[in-house]
Amino acid sequence: MSQETAQHQTSCPRREIASYLDGELTPREELDLELHLTVCATCTEEFNEQKKLLCVLDFALEGKKEIELPENFTKVVVANAESKVNGLRCPRERSRALFVCAALFLMFIFGLGAETTKTVETFGTLAEQFLAVGGFFVHLVHDITIAATVILRSLCLKFVFKSAMTAGLIGVFFVISLFIFSRLVSRHKHF
């Protein structure tokens, strides 16, 4: 009889009991489990225990709708995460990375062998061309700024103000503001 009990317990669908309570079984599987519960006292006891546990959990969580977080919870979590990430890096990590890059560059140069001078000359020519195009655009922006200043000053003098002094002050103000704007744009190019 103990062999029958051991065989019966190994064939018991205990894992399906939780799925049954959650409503995850197909109708056929539900029917099979219900038929099994009518003949197996162990599974019936397990089923009742799990139902009690669910009832206790529902009762315990019934009164609490939502967990309230402190006002600055997000800021505190972000600050803690950032401070802990900063500690993960080794202080000498950048110097090691620079050393590895330099070693790779030297290996690349040695790998080129006789072609090194041609490669360096090609990179130099390419850099000169990029600088020439960049210089052209800088001069273009400068010339457009001067032209816009002269045109606006003339228009202000002709239509808006009769006084040359007022038009001159506006022109100077416009030139200064364009200069400041061009400096801000050039700073953003470097970042």
**pLDDT grade for 83, boundaries at 50, 70 and 90:** low
Name every residue whose Cβ is closer than 8 Å to that of residue 13 and which is 6 or more positions away in sequence: 32, 33, 36, 43
Name every residue whose Cβ is closer than 8 Å to that of residue 51 and which is 6 or more positions away in sequence: 21
| pLDDT over 80 at 38, yes or no | yes
So where are the chain's domains?
2-62, 74-190
Provide mean pLDDT across the span 46-66.
Answer: 79
Choice between 9 and 150, residue whose per-residue pLDDT is larger: 150
Q: What is the pLDDT of residue 133?
A: 92
Q: How far apart are the first and last CA of the chain?
A: 82
CA gap 182, 142 in Å, rounded: 9
**pLDDT grade for 132, boundaries at 50, 70 and 90:** very high
| pLDDT over 60 at 73, yes or no | yes
Q: What is the pLDDT of residue 6?
A: 47
How high does pLDDT run on average in the chain? Answer: 77
